[in-house]
Amino acid sequence: MSAYEAAPAAGSTAAVPTHWYNIAADFPEPIPPHLHPGTKEPVTVEDLCGLFPRALAEQELSTERYIQIPREVRSVYGIWRGTPLIRASRLERALGTASQIFLKYEGVSPVGSHKPNSAVAQAYYNREEAITKLTTETGAGQWGSSLAFAGSLFGIDVEVWQVRASYESKPYRRYLMELYGGTVHSSPSELTEAGRAILESDSETTGSLGMAVSEAVEVALKDPAARYALGSVLNHVALHQTVIGQETIAQLARLGIGHADVVFGCAGGGSNLAGLSFPFLREVLMNKAKTRVIAAEPAACPSLTQGEYRYDFGDFSGMTPLLKMYTLGKDFVPDPIHAGGLRYHGMAPALSHAVHLGLVDAVAIEQTTAFHAGILLARTEGIVPAPESTHALAAAFQYLAHSDRAETIVIGVSGHGQLDLPSYQGFLESYQPPVG
């Protein structure tokens, strides 16, 4: 059966889950606590309240299994959710695999990625607590545009520090942020102490997400009407993304498929993969399901495969809580690869914990391999995937090339790449196919 699970009529919330799933309730051992940067004691809700609204601070530390999605947030989700689950039969034929491949496609959101799933929730809770301004960082601009979009719906000013490498090479997402009403600065900037200190020691730096986080946090901490918003990594962000996996399980069930053998996703800060895979891991933890989860990260920023599992700061200047995570060190500045959203030194503590417990495996993918996978998807199913998402595709293709089993494979396609066409074009022009 060729199966395409279409979204319900626009504006309907019928297909949108009613709750977010919190895996902290089901891990066999608790996620190691975040530590206060000064005292090194586990952070409390009060500690986090200077940075985030109380509702999000509570979600960050919550161990409640299901958290209800506010009606207004579900209503906004209804603009694009549920997202399609696509049976990629043309791709299967091109790969010559006996497995069934399903793509969970988040590229249909207004900004073209999974990130509004959390941006909308975060803007909502900030509005509820009378916050009028949000500051944030962004890499390729996916998160900044998601938050600018969400801010426009909930009447919040959004100020974004964009990693310089992307600010200069990907102007379209800046235009998008500005179109939604956001303000965008190249990071490091002269506007913050953190930025000025970095520029003083290296005026040519390409920037990093860790540096941009420092700038956005500094500005939020100085303004009582402002809070900071993070687009990945933290528990509450992973939580919001679990609509992805819950929908996928329901969509597979409607096709009579009660189990996925392997779930693939790309991992930058870990939120889209957490969101897709944690509801599957619930089945593993509670019902002994045999689903494997594979995190695909770029070889240029290999926190899971090459990093250490230890406490580290989420930002460059050491202003955030200490997070127990796989990390390359907060000073790590990756090469400016095309998948800007994967250039983060650490990995979500919840996903890191799952890797540490052996529930998730990781592979590192070279950029060239990733682009090939993206081009194959475009030429079989028509979807131009985000450069980030191509890592998940490449990891799945490698797996399938070494397996002759007929399995059910789910690949998270976290976004579309239609604003990344210059990256694809650069690859097509420079790539010399092997002779013979």
Ligand X SMILES: *Cc1c(COP(=O)(O)O)cnc(C)c1O
Per CB under 6 A, the segment of 2-10, 117-125, 222-230, 263-271 that binds ligand X is 263-271
Q: Does 121 bind ligand X (CB under 6 A)?
A: no
Region of 263 (left: φ > 0; alpha: ψ -120 to 50; beta: rest) is: beta
Q: Which of residues 363-382 bind ligand X (CB under 6 A)?
A: none
Query: Based on CB atoms, which residue is closest to ligand X, 127 or 240?
Result: 240
Query: Residue 218 in 3-state DSSP?
Result: helix
Judged by CB under 6 A, does residue 269 bind ligand X? yes
Site for ligand X (CB under 6 A): which residue of 389, 390, 408, 423?
389
104 near ligand X, judged by CB under 6 A: no
How far, in Å, CA of 61 to CA of 318, rounded? Answer: 20
Each residue 215-254 as x (binds ligand X by CB under 6 A) or -, in order, gives: -----------------x----------------------
Q: Which distant-in-sequence residues (6+ apart) come within 8 Å of 95 by Cβ?
A: 101, 376, 397, 400, 401
User: Is residue 394 involved in binding ligand X (CB under 6 A)?
Assistant: no
Backbone angles phi, psi at 71, to 5 degrees: -55, -45
Under the binding rule (CB under 6 A), the answer on residue 415 touching ligand X is yes
Q: Which residues pair with 20 in a beta bridge?
A: 67
Residues near 23 by Cβ (< 8 Å), separated by ≥ 6?
A: 238, 242, 274, 278, 281, 282, 350, 354
| Binding residue for ligand X, selected from 186, 189, 272, 327, defined by CB under 6 A | 272
Name which of 142 and 242 has its Cβ closer to ligand X.
142
* 142 lies in the binding site for ligand X (CB under 6 A): yes
Q: Is 266 in the site for ligand X (CB under 6 A)?
A: yes
CB–CB of 275/240 below 8 Å?
yes
- Record the tokens describing residue 402, joined without a space: 């070494």
Q: Does 195 bind ligand X (CB under 6 A)?
A: no
210 vs 415, beta carbon nearer ligand X: 415
342 makes contact with ligand X (CB under 6 A): yes
| Shortest CB 143 distance to ligand X, Å | 6
Selected from 47, 137, 388, 420, the binder of ligand X by CB under 6 A is: 388
Rounded distance, CA 428 to CA 372, Å? 10
SS3 330: coil
In a 13 Å sphere around the CA of 283, the CA atoms on its Cβ side amount to: 18
Residue 254: count of CB within 10 angstroms of its CB: 11
Q: Examine residue 138 and tell whether it contacts ligand X (CB under 6 A).
A: no
Q: Does 341 bind ligand X (CB under 6 A)?
A: yes
Binding residues for ligand X, rule: CB under 6 A, are 113, 115, 142-143, 232, 266-272, 341-342, 386, 388-389, 414-415
